[in-house]
Structure 1
Amino acid sequence: VQALLAEGIFNRAMQESNDGCEELTSETVVNPSKPQWLVHLCLILGQTVNGGASVVAKCGLPATNPILFALLRESGASPVLLLTALIMDGKPRLGRSQVPLLFLSAVFLYGAQVCWVTGIKFANPVVGSAWQPSQPIMVLLIAVLLGWETCTVGKTAGIFAALGGGLLMTFGAKASAESGGSPVVGNGFFFVNCSSTALFIISMRVITRTLPPQTAVAVIYCIASVGILITALLVSTSESVQQFLCPDCHPSFWYFPLEALPALFYWIFGSSVFAYAMLGFGTKHAKDATHCLAYTALQPVVAGVGETLLVVTGWNSRNLDNQLSLPTWTQVIGAVCIVFGVFFVILDALRPVERARSPPIRFSMQPSSGSD
């Protein structure tokens, strides 16, 4: 269903232009223009920063309305991303055919972020973390059905090893998160979250063929920020929704505790600006679409290492009201599985480039000048 949706979206978006035609074949997808070690290093760095975000949230994020926090994060990151895009790529030149796909990519990004926040309240963060390694599997299924790539042994083994390791790390943790009122609904939101992320990556693979990756990320992020703003304005008018999203928050929706500023800055410049810049670069230059999200399973590993370092350096003795726990042996085994999975994915990325395996998919898009 996701593959049909993706194909329908692209065909409809590309029909808007008659100015030019770019032939996108499976060969262009597997013939990257950048060294794969550099591409995968960027993807790993981006997921490493995202893994540290959970530690920052545990240590320095008091009870804050999640919608307000998301709004402040998007509002702070959007100007930085735009400025970075202007410096790196110059003034963006958007064709009419590119606008629909940019908008739909922003819808996918918005859906991923909002459904994550909502899913946590219905279920809990533990279940949400367990869903994240499923993202590369969804991308792989969509890409295979579209004829963009094939299921190689290394790629498939790496993804499923990382998935198993992520499940071990998630459910091997000591129970601490409280469950929400409807786990079934929460899992539904997590599925939409992961599906939206997968479709976002697939759409970015097409967009970055005619737009520089930094410009594409900046434009999409700004459009998604408008959606977050509209959501925040709607939520601010309903006390029942505010109580549901954050029962222990300040009565005023627009109240933001100063203690949360360090965490906000990390999420703006780390999880938004840096991580999405790395993801945009990797999405354009990775040999296969599946590689773009293959390292999401690294997030719990990074979080576990970060928490361990804090505990060893005396965090618990200095913060009696905010205790951290050491990883269990089950989590250690899960981390080892993830490392093996990452190893297999890297080996798959470094294998000799194959020739085109499927008929070309035509997209009517007008390349913009200055695109790399």
Structure 2
Amino acid sequence: MNNMGAGIAITGCGSAAPEAILTNYHLAQMVETSDEWIKTRTGMSNRHIASPTESLSQLSAVAAKNAIAMAGISATDIDLIILATSTPDDMFGSACKVQGLIGATNAVAFDLTAACSGFLFALINATQFIRNGVYRNVLIIGADVLSRWVDWSDRASCVLFGDGAGAAVCQGISDGDRLLSYGMYSNGSQNDSLNLNYQSDCQALVDGIIAQQGTYHPITMNGKEVYRFAVARVPEAIEKAMFHANLTANDIDWLLLHQANQRIMDAVAKRLKIPSEKILSNIAEYGNTSAASIPLALDAAVREGKVKPGDTIAASGFGAGLTWGAAIFQWG
């Protein structure tokens, strides 16, 4: 296709979450904690947990179908699928599986791994393909099943994470551009602040050749460092994006942040001088769903009628890597 100079619009969104809900009261039966302790420090009440019969690919497909339906197109209209995830069903990637499940027979598909920044990075990647005229309809999905990799005996981290998927359809348009600005950042010197590491056992093969055989071990996190990083870097990234879009905080209708911790979201809003009522938050229901958290919150707000066509949204993802980024876009 030849669509040089196209702008981008996000025309549909969708989400999906497992049926099983793990409450704070459930967690209090598992580790030494309480509903009050968790709510006060995180803002979380529930998180959805995938059962043995629910896969990341299935959740992604449901979210994708909902987004495609809202956009008013069919799966065969999709040119590209970008699946942002750190927990694929298959280490070779799950995007192609999703492509098959939704019947997007004309789409190329690939996975993108950037942890909790994944959906935002997928949006920015999709933008390049559309603006360059390569593709017209791009489906981006943020999905994670972090419950697979949680240490359920670690009370500092097990209260945080849940499972889910969210999706959005990005389309090329000729009348302007709804993505007003963006930025992506990484700092590998802080990599050890949040990890899901591979740990190997040695297996001798022949003549002194040793192979690694092992698996990934549960999530480890330095909560204080991640908090400090987020409240410093996220407002800075959003301020830069607003500057490049020639906007001020008064021009922002909604603040859409990775749902890591309600205290982080409140601190970012305060630094940006954005009123707390403009924060889009569903962390109480879903907890931290990594790459899924931004599209889950967006989909809920759109379907509730909170976010309306033309609204200006400041979004930011941040997490393991460490990675972070921001984007300013208009909905619809």
TM over 0.5: no
Which protein is richer in helix relative to its size? 1
Higher strand share: 2
Q: TM-score, normalised by structure 1?
A: 0.25
Look at both structures and tell me which one has the larger radius of gyration over its CA atoms.
1
What TM-score do the two structures reach when normalised by structure 2? Answer: 0.28
Quick one: higher RCO (CA 8 Å, sep 6+), 1 or 2? 1
